Chain A
Amino acid sequence: MKKFLVLLPISFFVFACSNDDDNNSPNNDEITAAAVVVNYANLVYESYSDSYDAAVLMQTAITTFTETPTEDNFTAAKDAWLSAREYYGQTEAYREANGPIDTEGESWSIGNEGQMNAWPIDESYIDYVLTGTESYAGDYNSIIGDETYTITEEALAGSNEGVDDKSISTGWHAIEFLLWGQDNTAPAEDLPGQRSYTDYTTAENADRRAQYLTIVTNLLVNDLNDLVSTWNEGGTYRTVFEALDTDTALQQAINGAFFIAGDELSSERMIAPVDSTDGINASGQEDEHSCFSDNTQRDVYANAQGVLNVIYGSYGSINGASFIDLVKQTDPAQAATLEAAASLVATRAALIGDNAQPFDYLITQETSDSTDGPVMQCVVALFDLANEISASASVLGINLN
């Protein structure tokens, strides 16, 4: 952090001398890969910190609700979940970066991505499910319904996917399910899940449900705290990361953005749901990440923003040496192409994120062989951005394959 502050006056001086209108140094010596890597680490830390803080606010709101289960407090808890997702979504650009969140088997591994954000979930593994989009639905045994199951942090974490190959019992989407319940309304109705707050007062297993909600929220907060700690200056992984060969560190950092843009967000979270609208009973519209809260369009937006954060080295109060700066020094034309691709993603992700229609409705209006609608338009832009990230990395001598 200190080092970074020292750099600032120099940067300002450079900007002042430059007649460029962009945030770039015209001097080839000014931006180094090492500075980009340091800035990236700051960015990761700050965004995990924000995500953690927002999750703590959510935890507080959920505690308030479980202690005083009213309609208003229920709404406040849901609002806090929605707010916290805005921050977490951006941090997904740090996955597939050989980092602690999803690397196994290293001394610094945390590997808690699955515990935090696994999807899809077997709802009936957690709580009751009701007749809805599926005519065959009904009441099933669940952890909440099984009074022989003692709900503890350890038990829920142990019940989550992993070596025993269990269903998903923890994370954002488990909390989401416990707050909203199944979304059994038609997409055109623009309604999320309609769980009643009385599920936490008069309904069967209300106490166990509250206990589950509390504990699964605590787990998430703890998981985020682990990431904040390890990325903090002097933290376990921060130390490992800073000791990496600079090119390796840069390659890993940019690979996360490449993966989210070119694969996870564009393919897994957008094309596949568009394609599955012909799922059984024509109800595949729930093939979307935040299917209970109808918040997927914000997930898309936040994921895309996370990619841009890494490219521009900018997030919150962090705004330092960036990947695109490095590219600009070596190949201004490629940097301009990258910038254009990034800008288009920003525009098209906003069209989804700020859309009056929820994602589950949008995907019912599109097919993957046409690129006219907002979802597939965004996919095209993301693919293009991924290609430009890769081409830009090549300019720096980095191979992302």
Chain B
Amino acid sequence: MKKHIASILLITLCLFSCTSGDDNYITFEDLYEEGEEFLTGELGVNSTSANAFGFEVDGLTFTEIGAFSTGNSLFNQNWVSAPASTTARDGLGPTFNARSCAGCHFKDGRGSPLVNGEDSSGFLMRISLPGQDLFGNANPVAGYNTQIQDRANNGVDYEAKINVTYEILNGAYPDGHTYELQKPIYSFSDEKFGSLEGILTSPRVAQQTIGLGFVNALPDDQILQFVDEFDADGDGISGKANYVWNVEENTTTLGKYGWKANAPSLKQQIAGAFHGDMGLTSSLFSEQECPSPQQDCADAVNGGEPEITDSQLEKVVFYQATLAVPNRRNFEDLSVLKGKANFTEINCIGCHRINQTTGISEIAAVLNNITIKPYSDFLLHDMGADLADNRPDFLASGKEWRTQPLWGIGLISTVNNHTFFLHDGRARTIEEAILWHGGEAENSKNAFKELSQEERQQIIDFVNSL
């Protein structure tokens, strides 16, 4: 292995010195860093199968494997409408987006963008009115609250259907190569509880759920070290923490999860998804999601109070927290190593950060004190007008999004059979996702566009190796 790398290095050094012509001096460390393929230390898995996101981290005890298994079952199996004999699995709805967690996070992977005329599959629409509620959350829309549930149980109205059309945007690289982006334009139909005209909207697709326990175990300072809200260092990149309402702690704490970093903990993120996406109550969100005037919804039988018990919630949290991150593939490939160098050179790494270290995990001891390479700072960044949804979310402005961790990204096509990226899945490839970057990422994107086609491909190859 060492020899193999060494020979690559020789070739690479020659190529760089022969072709680049600029003053980049590429050292050994720039090309291959010992152990760089292990994004979560020794806790990664080597699977490259369609189940690559479904494995637990190494080192769990028998009892922990049991908890993982039960969590897996509760995540994958459909929940059913109450009343049902399977009392531990009833309480779905009355309105909902999906029957199971896996309905959106198929094989613990990623949702697909909305397909016009079809019910959502891993896609949902957040909505709000301008302003904030008492907790700093977005203001609910009368009759609907803050999310459109496009499905419902028998005898209950779903809230509305969502439609999409795409506008094609043409662009070109400085070298003359052209590209095409598709910009989604959303609308509502069949609104059951009043017009949704003119409200604020934020389309979202479900993210892959690997490595979440590491993020949960990151001490705040590991995230806050990258904060540069007013760009004091003048590199064009800020990095802003979202502080959001923590339901369990009854106070505002650092946001870590979701497209806008609007969930402070893995437990709240999961309980929120059970509640908003599946209509299941828990000790964190105990009210049925039936805003007035949804009377059939309010009158529908529930699956107990709460519908998902604390024990079940803990098991799902444990399951999600201990889903392993796949180790990198093709990390020795010349193009990947060169792509990595350029990824750093054009400062993608300025937001897609690595080498944070977890503290003590309250979920699983095996996650303690692990240095990780998530390729994310988990902070908010202005991503420009083209990606803006213009819907604030706690401290996140309508232009700001949390940096998406890139670990596992190259396996999404294997797990989910698609390569749709960004918050609403508008990008059809990694290349398109890069080209949509704006705002604080404008310079990096432009630098990417200035690269040769071969160098652009090398960056894509590198991202695919993650």
Interface flag for B83 (CB, 8 Å): yes
Chain B residues 67 to 100 lying within 8 A of chain A, measured CB to CB, are: 67, 69-70, 72-74, 76-78, 80-90, 92, 98-99
CA distance A134 to B302 in the complex (A): 10
B-side interface mostly:
loop
CA distance A275 to B65 in the complex (A): 12
Closest to A383 in B: B65
Q: Is the CB of B70 within 8 A of A124?
A: no
Chain A residues 136 to 171 lying within 8 A of chain B, measured CB to CB, are: 136-138, 140-142, 161, 163-165, 167-168
A54-62, A210-218, A219-227, A277-285: which lies at the interface: A277-285
Chain A interface residue count: which class?
35 or more
Q: Is the CB of A123 within 8 A of B85?
A: yes
Q: Is the CB of A272 within 8 A of B69?
A: yes
Q: Is the CB of A271 within 8 A of B303?
A: no
Q: Is the CB of B86 within 8 A of A291?
A: yes
Q: Is the CB of A134 within 8 A of B66?
A: no
Query: Which residues of A have CB within 8 Å of B307?
Result: 280
CA distance A183 to B154 in the complex (A): 22
Q: Is the CB of A267 within 8 A of B69?
A: yes
B221-229, B258-266, B309-317, B420-428: which lies at the interface: B309-317
Query: Which residues of B have CB within 8 Å of A369?
Result: 63, 66
Interface flag for A120 (CB, 8 Å): yes
Query: Which residues of A have CB within 8 Å of B89?
Result: 120, 276, 287
Query: Which residues of A have CB within 8 Å of B154?
Result: 124-125, 140-142, 167
Chain B residues 115 to 132 lying within 8 A of chain A, measured CB to CB, are: 118-119
Q: Mark B47-79, 1 if CB is under 8 A from A, else 0.
A: 101010001000000110111011011101110
Q: Is the CB of A136 within 8 A of B69?
A: no
Q: Is the CB of B119 within 8 A of A278?
A: no
Query: B87: which of A163, A271, A286 is its contact (CB, 8 Å)?
Result: A286
Q: Is the CB of B312 within 8 A of A165?
A: no
Interface flag for A202 (CB, 8 Å): no
Interface flag for B304 (CB, 8 Å): yes
A-side interface mostly:
loop
- A401 with B47: in contact, given A268-B69, A268-B73 (CB under 8 Å)? yes
Chain A residues 96 to 130 lying within 8 A of chain B, measured CB to CB, are: 118-125, 129
Q: Is the CB of B84 within 8 A of A121?
A: yes
Q: Is the CB of B86 within 8 A of A287?
A: yes
Q: Is the CB of B302 within 8 A of A368?
A: no
Query: B80: which of A167, A272, A279, A281 is its contact (CB, 8 Å)?
Result: A167
Query: Which residues of B have CB within 8 Å of A275?
Result: 66-67, 70, 311, 315
Query: Which residues of B have CB within 8 Å of A119?
Result: 77
CA distance A167 to B69 in the complex (A): 24
Chain A residues 245 to 286 lying within 8 A of chain B, measured CB to CB, are: 266-268, 271-272, 274-276, 278-281, 283-284, 286
Query: Which residues of A have CB within 8 Å of B118?
Result: 163
- Residue from A125, A165, A182, A280 having most chain B Cβ neighbours under 10 A: A280
Query: Which residues of B have CB within 8 Å of A140?
Result: 83, 154-155, 301
CA distance A287 to B85 in the complex (A): 8
- A182 with B85: in contact, given A136-B302, A137-B301 (CB under 8 Å)? yes
Query: Which residues of B have CB within 8 Å of A134?
Result: 82-83, 87, 304
Q: Mark A382-401, 1 if CB is under 8 A from B, else 0.
A: 01000000000000000001
Query: Which residues of B have CB within 8 Å of A120?
Result: 77-78, 80, 84-86, 89-90
CA distance A121 to B130 in the complex (A): 41
Query: Which residues of B have CB within 8 Å of A286?
Result: 85-88
Query: Which residues of B have CB within 8 Å of A183?
Result: 85
Query: Which residues of B have CB within 8 Å of A268?
Result: 69, 72-73, 76-77
Closest to A371 in B: B62
- A272 with B47: in contact, given A125-B154, A164-B119, A165-B99 (CB under 8 Å)? no
The chain B residues found within 8 Å of chain A, CB to CB, are 45-47, 49, 51, 55, 62-63, 65-67, 69-70, 72-74, 76-78, 80-90, 92, 98-99, 103, 118-119, 151, 154-155, 301-305, 307, 309, 311-312, 315
23 contacts between A and B (CB under 8 A): A119-B77, A120-B85, A121-B80, A122-B80, A122-B81, A124-B81, A129-B84, A133-B85, A136-B82, A161-B78, A164-B119, A167-B80, A167-B81, A271-B66, A275-B70, A276-B89, A278-B311, A279-B87, A280-B87, A280-B305, A286-B87, A401-B49, A401-B55
Known pairs A140-B83, A141-B154 / 13 extra A-B pairs, C-beta < 8 Å: A120-B84, A136-B301, A165-B103, A267-B69, A268-B69, A268-B73, A268-B76, A275-B67, A275-B70, A291-B86, A368-B67, A368-B70, A401-B51
